[in-house]
Every structure is written in C-alpha cells, then in structure tokens.
Chains A and B, each alone.
Chain A
Amino acid sequence: MSNLVSFGYIVPELLLGAMAVILFLLSAMRRRNLLRKTIFPGLAILGLMAALSVLVNRTSGGIFGGDPGCISGCSLFFGLLATDPLADFFRILVISATTICVLISIGSPALPKGRTGEYHGLLLVMCLGMCLLSAANHLLMVYVAMETVSLCSYLLTGWDARKCRSREAGMKYVLFGGVASGVMLFGMSLFYGLFGDLSFQGLHLALQGSGALSGAMGQWAATLSVVFMFAGFGYKIAATPFHMWCPDVYEGAPTPFTALLSVGPKAVGMALILRFFYSIFLFPGSMETVIGASGQIPWLLLIGIVSAVTMTLGNLAALVQNNVKRLLAYSSIAHAGYILMGVTAGGQEGFEAVSLYMAVYLIMNMGAFAVVSLVEKASGSEELQVFRGLGKRAPLVALVMTIFLISLAGLPPTAGFIGKLYLFAALLERGGFWFLMLALVGVTNSVVSLYFYARVLKSMYMEKADTDLPTIPIRNPAAVTATALSFATLFLGLFWQPLATAARWSATLFH
C-alpha cells in the first residue's frame, strides 16, 4: 500500500508521536511548579487514551465479526509494516501497559521532580516504538523500532541519576543492548546477503525457492543468521542465555518504569518472534508443517529448548532472592519461558495462548510491581524484610499483592491459572513426545515457583516486623491502579471469555 494511504492506519502511532513532541516542547518552557506536577501525566494519558480509542474503535468490529477495511491484514508503506489482528492486539496491550505505568509513576520518589515532562515524553516514544515493533513486517523496520524502544529504555533505566544503582543499571543495559543489537544486525546482514531481501514475505518466498540454500554453506549461513537474530529477539524478551541484564536492570530502574520494562518489550518481542518465525519458515495455510524450505533446521525444537532452560533457570534463581524486585525479575524470566511454550506449540491454539498469557501477565506483573512501588515509597526499600507484617499494617495492599502472587504462581481462581491452562492445553493439543516433555518441565517449574511466591506471602502474613515499619497510604493513583488490576486478575480468572475471544481473534493472522 502506498505511503499516503498507509498513514490512515498508523493514526495511533502518529498521535503518540505528536503528544511526545508536545511534551518535550512544554518541558523546555519555563513553568510553574503546580503545572508541572499535574499537566505532564495528564497530557501523557490524554495521548495514550486517544491512541487507544482509535485502535479499539478500529478493532472492535474485527473482534466481534465484520471486517471494516483492512482489519484482517494488509501491508503498509510498501511492506514495512503489517496491519493485522496480531499487531493490533499487541498494540492495545502496550498502550495499556504504558498507561498503567504513567498512573503508577504519579508521586513516585524514584523519579526526579525536575524532569517529569521528559520522563513522560520518553515513555510515549517508547510506546510508539513498541507499537511499530508489534507491526513490523520487514527486518529494517524491526531494527529501527527495536532501537527506538531500547534507547528510551536505557535512558529511563538510568533515570534516577541520584542513585548509583540506577546509573549502573543504565550503563549495563546500554552495553548489553548494544552488543545484542549488533549481533542481531549481523544476522540480518547475512540474510540480506543470502536472499537480497529484508521483508518477511520476500524472505519466505526466497526460502521456498530455496535456491540459495542448496549448498551446505547456504544452510550454515542461514542457520547462523537466524541464531544471531534470535539473540536480538531473545534479549528483548529476556530469554536464556540472553537474560543476564535482566535482574540488575530491573533492580536499578525506577520501580514504576520496571513495571513497564518487564511487560512491554517482552510482549512486542513475543509478537515479533511469532511473526518472524511463522511468516518466514512456514508454508501459508499449514500450521502443521513445522519446517519450511529451510531444510533440516528444527526451529521449533530449538525454541522449545530455550523455553525449558529459560523457565528452569528463572525459577531456580528466584528461589534465593531476598530483594522483591530481583525476585520478580527472575520470575519474569521464568514467565518468558512459559510464554515460549506457546510459541513452540504453534497453531491456532499456541498463538491464542501466547496472546492470552501476555495480556494476563501484563495485568498481574504490573500489579505486583505497583505494590512494590507503593511499599518502596513508604519504607524506602524493596527488600523482603520491609514486607514483614504487611498483612497487619496495610491489609488492603497485602491482599492485593496476595492476589497478584497467586496469579503469578498460576493458581485458581485467578487469571494466571487461565493463562497457564491455555498454554499447557496448546502443548497437549499438539501432542508428540517432545511437546509433552516440555509441558512436564512447565508443570514442574510452576510447582517450584510456588515456593518463592509463598516466601513473600509468608513474609507479609506470618512474620513480625523488626522495627516500626510505616503503614502504606492507599489514597493515591498507584494504589488505586493496583487495586483495579487485582480486580481484573480475579475477574479474568472467573470470566475469561472476552479475553479469550480477543486472543483468538489476534491469532487469525496465519489461518
């Protein structure tokens, strides 16, 4: 589709970009203190809501029947972007995640007061990058969008420049990220050298023709380049062995931003992996063909192994953490592993499970980080000790946290249980020895994860606080957001049909 027509389909991104420019312009102006406090979060939420409403308006017809215009898939800007259910579903997810992040950020002590405008501007730019990445259909676009997300995350990770940890985390993130995107670019360049094309469709056709892959050299080069590209993608979702940055960065970054960092890039990374592997290596219309013309390289098996290792490592490392932010960081690594199970399973069920789990994970994980942010704000630390006696001091906050933790562990009647159910169901539906083994590893890991989530629960309800720890104020946006998210977690645990419908719709791309 030509450029002029394409603009009609990226209105949400245009709105986000425009609002970011306005925010930067405003923060360059002199203004009064009062204005600064309320206007920036307000404008950011305004921009996000405008983008969300445009998206929902366009997609709501698609979810519940009907096909207004290009809803079931078109390519924009001569193939750079795709607009399809998968992209729209993940765009809605990341815009919601950014909105929640803005709400949690209000009044957080981890964010320097003088730079509120820039903070929100960068959040919007990051959201824009994530929206583009979830729709990217061309390796060039993948790189540009990924760098947009990464550069904003580097800055926002080191945002609390007063704290040594935050600066250190920012630096580590830049170094790891630079290497990861360098490796990914190298993989892309190999692909370009082999096939002379960077668009997913072009690569798919080239692989089908498979002239370039006839020799052993071509096979090797293709394998190497996909492994290199997976390094870049795996870095974004924090999959083993590219997870090393994760705990340090999550711990050092300002907690409200950590909430977004643990959800947004992971979601779009998953969308990218789904789109990349399934649009390049599969023949259209046959999900059962595991391997396309790429010869003997079993991609699904490789992703399955990464999935098993990722969740095992994340869960085992989380067992010994005493800092709740680090604990949640390792738990988020483990969840990347769970979600990759859905990618491996593939098919309509697998896609649906990935989309559904990502939405559920967004709600429960951002909620848990919101509570950590509240506790950190009141007691100045996020170690496990400051959670002691939280059940007495702040019953509501403790209850909300309990719901999130139970959901993260995957127990009923919460949304996390439903999410895991769909993931395992997809694997079992698939059948076959290796898929059943993977499901077994997943179940075992869920049991292991129960231990460290229960440690936080034990700390909150069964241990007495050593000193006089403060109560936690609940009349602020962050607490209200956390409570709302906990309601959503419970609600979706009992009545998940709307979300499942939306997830099924998002998976219609590869019918």
Chain B
Amino acid sequence: MSNELKSRVGLHQEKEMIFKCDLGNLRMDNLYIDESNKKKNEKIGPSPIKLLGLSVLGCLAASFSFCLQKKDFSLSELEGKAEVTIARNEKTFWRVKKIDIELNPKIDTPEIRKRVDQCRDFFEQYCIISESLRTGFEVNVNLNF
C-alpha cells in the first residue's frame, strides 16, 4: 500500500451557526459555512450539504477533464450540476439519499468525442470522493454530450 496523503482544514465560529473556514495558505481566504441564514440571498456561504455536493461534482469533473488531458485533449467548456437529495430514514434522522450529477462538456471535434467515449467507461473510478461515498448512498452520473 502507498503512503497516505493528508489534507487539513479548519474553521472558527463567526456567529451562531456561521463559520469562517481556515484553508491554510490558500489564495481563497473568505469562505464561510452558513447554517444560520435560511434565505438564499442572505446566506454568506454554502451549507455542509452544498459542500458535499460541490465536493462530489468537482471531483468527477476533474477526473473527467484529467482523462481527456491524458491524451492532450482539452475542453472549451464544461458545466456540471449536482443535486443532493435528503430524506428521513426509518429512525427519522435526515440522511443523504442520493446525489445526482450531470456533466455537460462541449465537444468541439470528432477526435474529442472519441476520447470522451473512452473516458465515459472509467473516469469515475479515478474520482476519490464519489467512489469513497458510494457504499453509503447512490451517486448517479449523467455525462451529456
């Protein structure tokens, strides 16, 4: 087995259930997690559920893009969407039921299309996050092109 890789993050309470993230020396130093404000236009940061959705989506998008890059292809556009569904389990606790992912790459040439077809079969395996979570809930991936 390989050596382990470790990533550290931290947070500090700003007010009630609003937390300022500590991302070390990252160039982004103003990320908040906001579980206090309920209205979208009042929220100053994503909720933990949205962070989970972004994590899975970002990982799958990067894995897909990386698969193309391995053969020197690049995308002019790539959009992705994640929908996290939660529901109460039999003990009435809210749990994640599934995450639906949609990836929409813009395919400019037949060569890229061919490579995308090849990537379709295995890019998910290289996503650390989705494959780690799948034993707990469904992660459905829809690659549209």
- B partners with A: no
Residues of A within 8 A of B (CB): none
- Interfacial residues, chain B to chain A (CB-CB below 8 A): none
